[in-house]
Amino acid sequence: MGGTDWRGLNEAQWRARLTPAQYHVLREKGTKPAFSGAFWDHHAPGVYACAGCGQELFRAEDKFDSGTGWPSFSDAIAKERLELRQDDSLLMRRTEVLCARCGGHLGHVFPDGPPPTHLRFCMNSAALSFKPQT
């Protein structure tokens, strides 16, 4: 993973390294149905990383049950690991969250989370991998 030019990978290279569900979410900005992903009800200690490039993004202790059926986090490990973009799709204005390293679509962030950040990073399970705490 060290010297990979993640932004330079082409469609065939991404398809070869991702599952169809991961490709749909990370590269096509898709989503999985609520309450269907591997991490929405996952509570083990560890770190959640981008399923595309492995960059660590969220700590398990910042994960909370938002009631939405998607894994939700109140904060990121570091803001510079995420890229935020305005998303006006689906006839609404939202803030899209992408992995800053590979550009993969992770989900959206909303201003209705718990204190102290009041943020809800609503992520797609297919966009994440999990590294258990050892």
Whether the link from the prior residue into 71 is cis, omega within 30° of 0, is: no
Structure tokens at 86: 């305005």
Find the farthest-apart pair of alpha carbons in the chain and give their distance in angstroms, rounded: 44
Is 122 catalytic? The answer is: yes
Q: Which of 50, 99, 102, 122 is catalytic?
A: 122
**Euclidean distance between CA atoms 65 and 13, whole angstroms:** 35
- Asked if 32 contacts 124 with a C-beta cutoff of 8 angstroms, the reply is yes
- Token match 């992995």: residue? 99
Positions annotated as catalytic residues are: 122
